Amino acid sequence: MSNPRGWVWAIPLTFIVALALTVVPLPDWAAPWRPQWLAMTLIYWSMALPRRIGVGLGWFLGLLLDAATGALLGQHALGFALIAYLSIRMHQRVRVFPLWQQALTVGGLLALHLLLVLWILGMTGRAPGTWLYWAPLVSSMILWPWLFVLLRDVRRRWCLALS
Amino acid sequence: MRLALLALVSIGLMWADHRHQHLQEFRSTVAMLVYPVQAGVNLPVQAGAWVLEQLRSHQTLVEDNRRLREEHLHLNALMLRFEALEEENARLRELLDTSVRLRDPLMAAEIMAVDLDPFRQQLVINRGRVHGAYPGQPLINAQGVVGQVLESHPLHSIVLLISDPSHALPVLVNRTGLRTLAVGTGNPQLLELRYIPPAEDIEPGDIISTSGLGGRFPADYPVAQVTRVERIPGESFARVEARPLARLDRSREVLLLRPVNGNGDATERPAEIEAEAPAAESTPEDRP
């Protein structure tokens, strides 16, 4: 299982877990605060392994999220492709940031994604008329350091070096 | 470069998905990829329910059984009268030369413990195309109307609740026969009744049920109870609020209706009503 390139299924597994966390039922008051698990996992892997993770994968994950949440097909895919692209472009700078600064950067990327999605929702006449729409931004930024440490351990255990 | 290409593809997809319905197949394929994850998330909830059921004591089971038996007897007694009334109704309808109304077949479905977009009122149920679910199929539970199937995938379906802001249901007030439109608000406890002139006779406590006018929902299924009527001077319509009878946010079992076509409601009744007055949506001031 553990060839020099690492265990191949480690990365897909983290994405599957992130997707599961995205659909797991939460109580009504907490549902709008659900962090953007899938987007955060995508950002981590695009920054850690920018040669293996591409824009195409981001797009595909977004498509899965669209299907899972009953959204318009392509709505999250567009944002995810953009997130992956920007993360790959910025990986060398952001990787060495302290965790809180990383969290801010991640917040910026997610804000861009949410803005894009909001724009699409607005065009199709489904815009949520509440500030709670931006709640995932806060929860995602708070949880980023923990997710980062967790995924770093996963990477060190199964995927070896940064590439 | 790749990004630009993918962005174009996404925009094309969204456009096609929004404007046309050609993507149903593709959507189902992607949905099937995600389904194992959703089923996996649902599994612990199901397992929990099963374990709880196994742990119920003998005592409670006996009590439940006795209570249900009594209820069954009671309902059966009511059904005796109901059947007689139904036959009488059919006879009278035949005399009047209108269509005979048949009973709609039902299919039980379970709501999966899976969350969708928190800003839309949608659910996932564990019945799909394989079981015969189709888009537009009405959903009810023991208390009233729940919603309709939005997308049917092979093994599961996505349901739009009547409380979604994009959902409008043609209804009538049982007591007066006043026709109106029940529009969702995004709050599972609240529906808005539209286009009711202030002079109309409608009061809190009135029960509203489906009118069958849309052609999608069969007539006479209870929908909601009027909770508040506000007549604002100078406005052309009263502001009327209602609470859905089906507990949309806490029911777990639902029933998929299969309206009887042919000589059933969906095709015949609207025509029959239109003879007296045009549809509720177009002329709100009509008065039965």
- The secondary structure of B68-98, three-state, reads HHHHHHHHHHHHHHHHHHHHHHHHHHHHHCC
Domain span at residue A32 reads: 10-159
pLDDT in tens, A49-64: 888 888 999 999 999 9
ipTM (interface pTM): 0.77
- B69-98 CB burial, b ≥16 within 10 A, e <16: eeeeeeeeeeeeeeeeeeeeeeeeeeeeee
Distance, in Å, from the CA atom of A42 to the CA atom of B160, rounded to the nearest integer, reads 30
Distance, in Å, from the CA atom of B81 to the CA atom of B75, rounded to the nearest integer, reads 10
Is A29 within a domain?
yes
Chain A residues inside the 8 Å CB shell of B45: 25
* Lowest-pLDDT range of A62-66, B9-13, B200-204, B238-242: B9-13
How far is the alpha carbon of A118 from chain B, nearest alpha carbon, in Å? Answer: 12
Give the pLDDT score at A161.
59
Q: How confident is the model at residue B99 (pLDDT cuts 50, 70, 90)?
A: low
Q: Does domain B106-288 have CATH number 3.60.150.10?
A: no
Please state, rounded to an integer, the average pLDDT across all residues of chain B. 81
Give the pLDDT score at B281.
39
Chain A residues inside the 8 Å CB shell of B41: 20, 23-25
pLDDT in tens, A98-148: 888 999 999 999 999 999 999 988 888 777 778 888 999 999 999 999 999
Give the pLDDT score at B100.
59
pLDDT in tens, B4-18: 888 888 888 887 877
Give the pLDDT score at B95.
79
Is A25 within a domain?
yes
Is A67 within a domain?
yes
Say if residue B87's pLDDT is above 80: yes
The reply to whether residue B158 touches residue A74, judged by beta carbons under 8 angstroms, is: no
Tell me which chain B residue has its CA closest to the CA of residue A84: B3
Domain boundaries, chain B: 106-288
Q: Which residues, including other chains, have CB under 8 Å from residue B13's CB and lie 6 or more apart?
A: A73, A74, A77, B23
Top-confidence residue, B60 or B267: B60
**Pure H helices in chain A:** 10-23, 37-48, 55-69, 75-95, 99-123, 135-154
Is A97 within a domain?
yes
Say if residue B263's pLDDT is above 60: no
Number of folded domains that form chain A: 1
Count contacts between A and B (CB, < 8 Å).
107
Distance, in Å, from the CA atom of A14 to the CA atom of A44, rounded to the nearest integer, reads 11
Top-confidence residue, B170 or B96: B170
- Among all chains, which residue has been given the structure tokens 């993507």? B23
**DSSP strands (E only) in B79-235:** 106-110, 122-125, 138-140, 145-152, 157-161, 168-173, 179-184, 191-196, 207-210, 222-230
Q: How confident is the model at residue B206 (pLDDT cuts 50, 70, 90)?
A: very high
Residues 42-101 of B with CB under 8 A from A: 45
Is A3 within a domain?
no
